[in-house]
Amino acid sequence: MKRIAPLILVLTLAAHAVEVRPNLGGDFSKVSKDEAGNLVPAGWILNSAFKANGTWGAVPDAERGGHALSVTAEGGQIHVYTSKGFAAGPGTNVSISLEARGTGSFKVWLYCYGESGAWVGENVAGPVVKITTPGWQKQTFPLPIPDKPFPKGTVTEIKPAFEVDKGSALEFDNVVLTMEIEMEPTKTAAAGQNLRLLLPPVIHATPGLESNLYLDNTILAINPANYAFDVTCGKGAQQQERWTFTPKAEDVGDYPLTLAIRDDTNAVIASATTLVRVVPSKAEASLSVLMIGDSLTHASHYPAQVVANAEADEKLAVTLVGSHQPQGKDSPVRHEGYGGWTARMFITYFPDPPPEPGRKANSPFLYKDGDAAPVLDFPRYCREYNDGKAPDAVTILLGCNDVFGCSDDTIEAKAAESLENFAKIIEMVRAFGPKTQIGILLPVPPAGTQDAFAVNYGCGQTRWQYLRNQRYMLEQLTETYADREAEGIHLLAAFTALDTIHGFPTKTSPANSRSQVEATRLNNGVHPSESGYQQIGDVISAWLVSLANRE
């Protein structure tokens, strides 16, 4: 067998700032009673050093409904701040916007804390603002954190606060904290140990749905067990094989997550950062969704999970669009997913004569009139399958068949061809639906052992070679489509969400013909079990919730 030189690829993504808006309860919609029976806004507390100087609490907002934060400073200054801290550090650009009314003056503060939760000896404060005219006044306060250590340490956490001056009686509402956080690109520190660490730009999450980051899926290594994984995040838990997090309603917000890879000397040899974005299902929305893919989509399990999740959501309705209904004409599960298809086939496949009965005759987006050559006609497709409207969202899960049989010598050209056809699919959708949101599902890894490839391919393909091919395609898609949310193109974290051991089919049989021991082995190389598909569906569902709740 010819030995081929290994392809060495280092993916370099530039550092970039991500704007995050953590939930600090600044609409004061949730209230409770304190020990004295007074109504106070949930998530906010009075600095006890000022408790003798006046009163504070939640008051009904008769003008707009809900509640506002009321502070009356009779005998001296009063400080009210959030009980919850928010991750931030030196150089973070922070701003707070709010509405205020009443009479008097105030400042906005950032209480600053370090690693141990101890105060760092200094805070960040905005200018004094005087309110003299009636009615709500909108204010915005830039509060950048100095890029330097503070007297007692480095800032790692902030708590927004109000300082209300003596003699003031003020109300606050619609308080929004905005931070620009620098997302760390992949860093490789050790020569000869290029693990090609890659994290998705965003891990979408929503209360009630489990989100996962399977650690082995983030690197390319023959034996990931040779390395230690170290997750830093304000939410979730790191288990042996994964970081996992099932958000609750109070967890809504953005949370940076950093993954460091350590060697046996405990040195960090690679690290990268992503953002866990927890969005509530609070907006009434009905979304039409077109799913484009290969056999993983044809199996229909992940589209079915998206439908099931939407049915369990009182706010979100999802209607799938498509000509293909493998589960039957009465099923709401429809899509454009066909076994063995590549991205190119959706652009060009129109055989003449048509294939045998039971096989898809042509790309669902190609139409042929008379003797004319077939043409892509997405508006016509939408007239036939979506009442003439462009879908609200399109997901694309392709790439497996495009690069499956590649060697290190051929992967670059094949991936480039696939990317060209991805672009044509996106252009086709975008031309008719400029507002359609497009979710590119980053290709999922294969089953976790060579056993599964033995069942499907004998000696025709190794898991390691396919894993290398999948990784290259993953890197190219990330490099091409990262940071394009403003254009309506999103990368969905399917590749880190799939359990490659427990999310693929298995078969139990004797370990060998002479053995009395039963061995359970994975027995499908690239097609997950139903639970694995459901994990992919949960990724899409969380993304759809985020679309429904966009401002």
If DSSP states are collapsed to H, E and C, what string results for 380-444? HHHHHHCCCCCCCEEEEECCHHHHCCCCCCCHHHHHHHHHHHHHHHHHHHHHHCCCCEEEEECCC
C-alpha–C-alpha distance, residues 183 and 15, integer Å: 6
Mean pLDDT in residue range 31-36: 83
Q: What is the pLDDT of residue 7?
A: 38
**pLDDT tens digits for range 2-26:** 333 333 344 445 556 667 777 788 8
Q: What is the pLDDT of residue 14?
A: 52
C-alpha–C-alpha distance, residues 212 and 234, integer Å: 15
Residue with tokens 């497009």: 438
**DSSP code at position 283:** S
Beta pairing partners, 256: 275
**pLDDT tens digits for range 110-150:** 999 987 789 999 999 999 999 988 889 999 999 999 988 89
Q: What is the pLDDT of residue 182?
A: 67
C-alpha–C-alpha distance, residues 532 and 385, integer Å: 29
pLDDT greater at residue 253 or residue 160: 160
**pLDDT tens digits for range 301-323:** 999 999 999 999 988 999 999 99
Beta pairing partners, 335: 324
Q: What is the pLDDT of residue 456?
A: 93
Q: What is the pLDDT of residue 303?
A: 98
pLDDT greater at residue 358 or residue 469: 469
Residue with tokens 């089919």: 505
369, burial (CB in 10 Å: exposed 0-12, middle 13-18, buried 19+)? exposed
Q: What is the pLDDT of residue 188?
A: 63
Give the helix, strand, coil percentages of the chain, each rounded to 5: 25, 35, 45
Give me the chain's average pLDDT, please. 90
* Confidence (pTM): 0.78
The answer to which of 17-26, 53-62, 484-493 has the lowest mean pLDDT is: 17-26
C-alpha–C-alpha distance, residues 197 and 192, integer Å: 14
**pLDDT of residue 267 exceeding 70:** yes
Mean pLDDT in residue range 242-271: 91
Mean pLDDT in residue range 154-178: 93
In contact, 95 and 143? CB cutoff 8 Å: yes
Residue with tokens 């230690």: 228
In contact, 185 and 119? CB cutoff 8 Å: no
Residue 354: cis peptide before it, omega within 30 degrees of 0:
no
Question: Of all residues in the chain, what percent carry a pLDDT higher than 90?
Answer: 74
- Strands of 197-340 (E only): list them: 202-205, 211-214, 228-233, 237-238, 242-245, 253-262, 268-278, 285-293, 316-321, 336-337
In contact, 236 and 203? CB cutoff 8 Å: no
**pLDDT tens digits for range 335-385:** 999 999 999 999 999 987 766 555 567 999 999 888 889 999 999 999 999
**Tokens standing for residue 463:** 């898991």
Q: What is the pLDDT of residue 282?
A: 73
Give ∠ CA 273-274-278 in degrees, rounded to 5. Answer: 145
Residue 62's pLDDT band (cuts 50, 70, 90)? low
Mean pLDDT in residue range 30-48: 88
Strand pairing of 157-164 and 137-142? unpaired
Q: What is the pLDDT of residue 471?
A: 96
Q: Nearest-CA neighbor of 53 among 79, 81, 83, 35?
A: 79
**DSSP code at position 351:** -
Q: What is the pLDDT of residue 8?
A: 36
C-alpha–C-alpha distance, residues 105 and 128, integer Å: 7
325, burial (CB in 10 Å: exposed 0-12, middle 13-18, buried 19+)? middle
Q: How far is CA 41 from CA 46, 105, 152, 379, 395, in A?
A: 11, 21, 31, 50, 40
Residue with tokens 């359609």: 436
Write the single-letter amino acid at 490: H
Mean pLDDT in residue range 271-298: 92
**pLDDT tens digits for range 203-231:** 999 999 999 999 999 999 999 999 999 99
Q: What is the pLDDT of residue 33?
A: 85
**pLDDT of residue 1 exceeding 70:** no
End-to-end CA distance of the chain: 57
Q: What is the pLDDT of residue 15?
A: 55
C-alpha–C-alpha distance, residues 306 and 311, integer Å: 9
**pLDDT of residue 409 exceeding 90:** yes
Domains observed in the chain: 20-182 (2.60.120.260), 186-278 (2.60.40.10), 285-445+463-498+529-548 (3.40.50.1110)
496, burial (CB in 10 Å: exposed 0-12, middle 13-18, buried 19+)? buried
Mean pLDDT in residue range 480-503: 95
**Tokens standing for residue 169:** 């009686």
**Tokens standing for residue 206:** 């929503």
Residue 324's pLDDT band (cuts 50, 70, 90)? very high
